[in-house]
């Protein structure tokens, strides 16, 4: 989940938790201590982002387990959640979606152990995921400190490309790189974040890079300074933005961020929208001490240093 949504409402109407709740609403996942074992719990459901049902199921599963990795945990089991309209229902399509999800879960060492479906005019699929985490090494959304550097582990623009696919402006071959990124599990990035003692961590999903970055600084005495030119962007994205292929969610995210993000005057509306583009199965966004970056540099994982943490008042500055 993310800023100003369901989780905020839960916190407001249920302000207190027992000692067993290690992480409550407002982070990527909740963490609950049972007999000394920290259990990570999260749920995410999405609408199709690609036409192929197996690939959609595979992507949706990786998107759902990502919140466990964003906490520094490992997924162990999952339940499927599926919305579909019974008039359009095709059992073979459904089987392929589930096969894709099971394939992704196996890659992550987890099992699908059940599920629930409901009637919905628009196809939806996702997982409720249970994972485990070392209770002393939980990666939280807050905790970034002055002087830290900020890194991102996947390029952005996924929402713009899947919108272009739906509109028929691009085909699945054109967005092959984006599909490969959506199928990339955040397990290695999470392991490196733990090794590098990341001071804060989240994954970039529906609220876009800036929305999730804001979630890391809100109600704090730090600001994130992000350099636009250091943000990796997928191919075809620039062309698609100019032809108007911008998802509704990007506009909503940018509107929400009004007053919370200070943009350099040189950044165009399109560039601001790109940083607000909702991502499906996006990368991790994390902060770490400058000297720990060597751990990422010595690995073969993709990453980009996109800015740094300064003393401030809980806002994002984009230069
Ligand atoms: Co989430
Ligand atoms: Co998340």
Model confidence over 47-72: pLDDT tens digits? 999 999 999 999 999 999 999 999 99
Compute, in angstroms, the gap from residue 204 CA to the centroid of ligand 2: 6
Edge-to-edge strand ranges of the sheet holding 316-318: 200-203, 284-288, 149-152, 304-311, 222-226, 316-318, 261-263
Ligand nearest to the CA of 71: 2
Residues with CB under 5 A from ligand 2 (ion): 28, 67, 203
In this prediction, the residues of the chain whose per-residue pLDDT falls under 50 are 1-3
Which of 244, 219, 85 lies closest to 143 in space, CA to CA? 219
Compute, in angstroms, the gap from residue 38 CA to the centroid of ligand 2: 18
Compute, in angstroms, the gap from residue 52 CA to the centroid of ligand 2: 25
Quote the crossing angle between the two packed helices 53-70 and 187-195, to the nearest 10°: 10
Compute, in angstroms, the gap from residue 139 CA to the centroid of ligand 2: 12
pLDDT, residue 4, reads 54
Tally the residues of the chain: 319
Ligand nearest to the CA of 202: 2
The answer to whether the pTM exceeds 0.75 is: yes
Percent of the chain with pLDDT over 90: 91
Compute, in angstroms, the gap from residue 265 CA to the centroid of ligand 1: 32
């Amino acid at each position: 989940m993310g800023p100003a949504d369901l989780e905020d409402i839960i916190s407001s109407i249920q302000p207190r938790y027992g000692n067993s709740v290690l992480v409550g609403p407002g982070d990527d996942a909740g963490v609950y201590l049972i007999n000394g074992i920290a259990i990570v719990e999260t749920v995410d459901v999405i609408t199709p982002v690609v036409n192929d049902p197996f690939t959609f199921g595979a992507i949706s599963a990786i998107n759902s387990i990502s919140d466990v990795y964003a906490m520094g945990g490992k997924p162990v089991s999952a339940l499927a959640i599926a919305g579909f309209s019974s008039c359009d229902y095709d059992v073979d399509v459904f089987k392929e979606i589930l096969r894709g999800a099971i394939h992704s879960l196996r890659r992550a060492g987890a099992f699908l152990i059940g599920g629930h479906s409901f009637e919905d005019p628009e196809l939806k699929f996702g997982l409720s995921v249970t994972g485990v985490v070392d209770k002393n090494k939980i990666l939280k959304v807050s905790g970034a400190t002055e002087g830290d550097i900020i890194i991102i582990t996947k390029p952005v623009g996924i929402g713009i490309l899947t919108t272009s696919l739906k509109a028929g402006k691009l085909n699945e071959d054109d967005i092959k790189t984006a599909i490969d990124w959506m199928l990339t599990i955040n397990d290695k990035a999470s392991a490196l974040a733990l090794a590098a003692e990341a001071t804060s961590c989240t994954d970039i999903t529906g609220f876009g890079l800036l929305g999730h970055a804001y979630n890391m600084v809100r109600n704090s005495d730090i600001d994130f300074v992000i350099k636009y030119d250091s943000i990796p962007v997928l191919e075809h994205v620039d062309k698609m933005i100019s032809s108007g292929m911008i998802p509704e969610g990007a506009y909503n995210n940018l509107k929400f961020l009004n007053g919370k993000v200070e943009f350099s005057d040189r950044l165009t509306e399109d560039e601001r929208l790109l940083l607000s583009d909702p991502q499906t199965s996006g990368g991790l966004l994390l902060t770490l001490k400058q000297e720990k970056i060597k751990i990422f540099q010595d690995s073969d994982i993709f990453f980009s240093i996109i800015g740094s943490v300064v003393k401030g008042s809980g806002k994002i500055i984009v230069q």
